[in-house]
């Protein structure tokens, strides 16, 4: 720089150096604000970055279309939980009445927090680590905690996709392999496998043929080689889908997000044509209003809303960070949230239609088996023929006739009725059997499909749907790891993606040993719930209380072009934090009341038994601590200035059209004078747009007076960042 430039002439002056820079820029001709970009970047980068509002000139990838982005968010939020968790909660918590607390909580905490994550991702255009480092460096551990939880969830979630892959390939045969119990030779006799005979064909196939499960989590039993190959296949699919970032995963989403809806609609149409489907749907829709007074129902509804939208994982922020600045993320939040809800309702209708059919089949089977017992008792004269109503025909026995006969026998033989071992065979009892998770998908639903005409076709469709639902969620989960890490540490995305998948596959081998299902169950129940709740609470606090809700609303107004509803101000500042704190407290109380454990399949008993191992409990506590540990660690390190917050000496570049006047190449001593001994914490973080992301107590450009070069100076005169106020 020339020795007599304005910057060097003022080195002895007490006047702030930024004014001299403003004067320097003031000599330039006025330019259009939209085409002028002032970029403040860290000296730690190997070279200064030019950032323009025009997305064509930005290095950051962008979605090919709005449809691709919406499908990605839907594919991420709509997952396996919509198919097997929501229907179970609906059945357990009052049928149609459960949808009222779910909708209320979706509006109160779901949509506002979803909108918050979409907005910060789109505004700052970084992954979760970069976003929370920028909003509040001392709470920068939030982003790292999200990555840790995503990694934990991804480890076991892909195992479920592996199970679905195994069932998918097994479906290409008729009859389906889980439709009948296997026959084994006992000497010269062929008998039904005892374990299968005492349970059911689908239960036996799941626990013995698929998992070859051990009796306890302590009995590892070695790797299940078939599940290991399926897990390798699942991670290969995820890696290939994400190898090119959103350019590859976005194309995958066109199929993985839309195909499940095609399958659900086909299953609904087919299910409604099945005998007894209406019984199942009416059972689901019949509201039990008294259940709404149970706090446990509201806790489970809040938890389902929380996880259904994928809050806290970082995937929502990562996907949103690839949007244009003027995208209407407010509309996106409402659209994706309600699509998620309607998908859950659609899946519930399908599940209960099929389970209604299954309940009728099982009830008719129960009637036939017990009618045979009664005939045997009549032949042995244990029961008198006078007890059988005259209109009853054993050749065409209906459930109504059996119920009448059962009640007569129970009344007359009251003293010895238990010895007869007759079942009531009530349809309502079959419908009330609550099944969730793997029990619904791999046992109850598969058993129902064995009674379908062309059952292999429906089985292939069902498990292909599960694979796509899981793949869409896995892409979002892994994006919550890959995007923030690659943004922060500038690693090559392709290499890091492959490394993550390989590492996750190796660590995931613990889930494909014979006791692996128990680890999946415990990880699913306990490893993510508490850490994610804490993460979302801290996200809410960081924006609403540290950064400032008013400032955030002002930024949203500038970004969206309209002011969001005033409701969001109160939701972010008061309602959501209180509701999330209540959810966290309820979860801790529930954890204390019901110690963590798992249901073990005992081969000798042919039944599940709840077990609790102290070392397994210690492992879960360690996982929870490990997941939230980055938050206090980063806070302490930055509180005592043990690590940098990413803001060092500044380099300033100003672009006018195609001409660049660069003043970043200052000599060392000139650069020191240029920043006038400002503390490093006062230097702003890189801001990827033409507007500064205003921190607490910052002065808005509109509020400044007496500054003639405000058009150019808005990005460096307002150089104060959230970091400098903390």
Return binding residues.
75, 78, 82, 340, 469, 473
**Is the Cβ–Cβ distance between 287 and 96 less than 8 Å?**
yes
Q: Determine the number of helices (DSSP H) and then strands (DSSP E) in the chain.
A: 33, 7
Two structure tokens written together for 95 = 């049928």
Question: Where do we find the tokens 């509804």?
Answer: 301
Give the containing element (helix H, strand E) for 608. strand 607-611
**Is the Cβ–Cβ distance between 58 and 51 less than 8 Å?**
yes
Characterize 26-44 residue by residue with b for buried, 16 or more Cβ atoms within 10 angstroms of its Cβ, and e for exposed.
eeeeeeeeeebbbbbbbee
Two structure tokens written together for 444 = 């109850």
Contacts for 651-655: CB closer than 8 Å, 24+ residues apart: 651/40, 651/41, 651/43, 651/48, 652/21, 652/38, 652/39, 652/40, 652/716, 653/38, 653/39, 653/48, 653/50, 654/25, 654/28, 654/36, 654/37, 654/38, 654/712, 655/36, 655/37, 655/39, 655/50, 655/52
Q: How far apart are CA 102 and CA 338, in angstroms?
A: 12
Q: How far apart are CA 397 and CA 401, in angstroms?
A: 6
Angle between helices 17-26 and 668-675 (to 10 degrees): 100
Q: How far apart are CA 257 and CA 29, in angstroms?
A: 50
Question: Where do we find the tokens 């004269």?
Answer: 381
The DSSP code sequence of 536-551 is HHHHHHIIIIIIIHHH
The pair phi, psi for residue 257, each rounded to 5°, is: -90, -35
Binding residues for Na(+), by number, are 75, 78, 82, 340, 469, 473
Two structure tokens written together for 59 = 């290095």
Ramachandran bin of 94, using left for φ above 0, alpha for ψ from -120 to 50, beta for the remaining angles: left
**Is the Cβ–Cβ distance between 648 and 44 less than 8 Å?**
yes
Question: Where do we find the tokens 């970084």?
Answer: 126
Two structure tokens written together for 91 = 């059945």
The pair phi, psi for residue 220, each rounded to 5°, is: -60, -55
């Amino acid at each position: 720089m020339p020795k007599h430039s304005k910057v060097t002439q003022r080195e002895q002056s007490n006047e702030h150096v930024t004014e001299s820079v403003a004067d320097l820029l003031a000599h330039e001709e006025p330019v259009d604000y939209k085409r002028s970009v002032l970029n403040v970047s860290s000296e730690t980068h190997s070279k200064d970055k030019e950032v323009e509002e025009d997305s064509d000139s930005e290095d950051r990838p962008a979605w090919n279309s709005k449809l691709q982005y919406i499908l990605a968010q839907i594919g991420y939020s709509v997952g396996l939980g919509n198919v097997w968790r929501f229907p179970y909660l609906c059945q357990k918590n009052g049928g149609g009445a459960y949808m009222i607390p779910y909708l209320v909580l979706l509006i109160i905490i779901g949509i506002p927090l979803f909108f918050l994550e979409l907005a910060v991702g789109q505004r700052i255009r970084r992954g979760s680590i970069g976003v929370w480092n920028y909003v509040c460096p001392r709470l920068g551990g939030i982003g790292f905690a999200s990555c840790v939880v995503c990694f934990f969830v991804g480890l076991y979630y892909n195992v479920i996709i592996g199970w679905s892959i195994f069932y998918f390939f097994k479906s290409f045969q008729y009859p389906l392999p889980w439709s009948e119990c296997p026959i084994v030779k006992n000497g010269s006799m062929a008998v039904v496998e005892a374990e299968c005979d005492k349970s059911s064909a689908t239960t036996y196939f799941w626990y013995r043929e698929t998992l070859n499960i051990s009796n306890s989590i302590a009995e590892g039993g070695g790797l299940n080689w078939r599940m290991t190959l399926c897990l390798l296949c699942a991670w290969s699919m995820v890696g290939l889908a994400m190898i090119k970032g959103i350019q590859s995963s976005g194309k995958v989403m066109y199929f993985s997000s839309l195909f499940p809806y095609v399958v659900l609609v086909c299953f609904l149409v087919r299910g409604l044509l099945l005998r007894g489907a209406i019984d199942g749907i009416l059972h689901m829709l019949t509201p039990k209003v008294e259940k709404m007074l149970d706090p446990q129902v509201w806790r489970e509804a809040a938890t389902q809303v929380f996880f259904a939208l994928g809050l806290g994982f970082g995937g929502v922020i990562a996907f949103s960070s690839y949007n244009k600045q003027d995208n209407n993320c407010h509309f996106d939040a409402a659209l994706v949230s309600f699509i998620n809800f309607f998908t859950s309702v659609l899946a519930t209708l399908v599940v209960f239609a099929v389970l209604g059919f299954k309940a009728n089949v099982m009830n008719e089977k129960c009637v036939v088996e017990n009618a045979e017992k009664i005939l045997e008792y009549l032949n042995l004269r244990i029961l008198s023929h006078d007890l059988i109503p005259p209109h009853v025909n054993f050749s065409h026995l209906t459930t109504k006739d059996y119920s009448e006969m059962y009640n007569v026998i129970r009344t007359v033989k009251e003293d010895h009725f238990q010895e007869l071992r007759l079942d009531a065979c009530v349809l309502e009892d079959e419908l009330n059997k609550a099944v969730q998770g793997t029990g619904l998908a791999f046992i109850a639903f598969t058993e129902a499909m064995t009674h379908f005409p062309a059952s292999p076709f429906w089985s292939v469709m069902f498990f292909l749907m599960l694979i796509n639902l899981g793949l869409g969620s896995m892409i979002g989960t892994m994006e919550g790891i890959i995007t923030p890490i690659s943004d922060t540490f500038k690693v090559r995305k392709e290499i890091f993606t492959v490394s993550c998948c390989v590492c996750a596959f190796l660590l995931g081998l613990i889930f494909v040993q014979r006791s692996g299902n128990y680890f999946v169950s415990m990880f699913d129940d306990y490893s993510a719930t508490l850490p994610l709740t804490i993460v979302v609470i801290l996200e809410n606090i960081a924006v609403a209380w540290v950064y400032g809700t008013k400032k955030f609303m002002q930024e949203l107004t500038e970004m969206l072009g309209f002011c969001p509803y005033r409701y969001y101000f109160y939701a972010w500042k008061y309602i959501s934090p209180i509701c999330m704190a209540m959810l966290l407290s309820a979860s801790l109380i529930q954890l204390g009341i019901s110690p963590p454990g798992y249901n073990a399949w005992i081969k000798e008993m042919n039944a599940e038994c709840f077990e609790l191992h102290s070392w397994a409990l210690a492992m879960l506590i360690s996982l929870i601590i490990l997941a939230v540990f980055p938050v206090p660690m980063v806070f302490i390190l930055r509180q005592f200035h043990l690590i940098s917050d990413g803001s060092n000496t500044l380099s300033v570049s100003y672009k006018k059209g195609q001409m660049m006047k660069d003043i970043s190449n200052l000599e060392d001593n000139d650069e020191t004078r240029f920043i006038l001994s400002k503390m490093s914490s006062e230097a702003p973080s890189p801001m990827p747009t033409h507007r500064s992301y205003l921190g607490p107590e910052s002065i808005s450009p509109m509020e400044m007076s007496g500054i003639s070069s405000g058009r150019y100076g808005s990005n460096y005169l307002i150089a104060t960042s959230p970091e400098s106020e903390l």
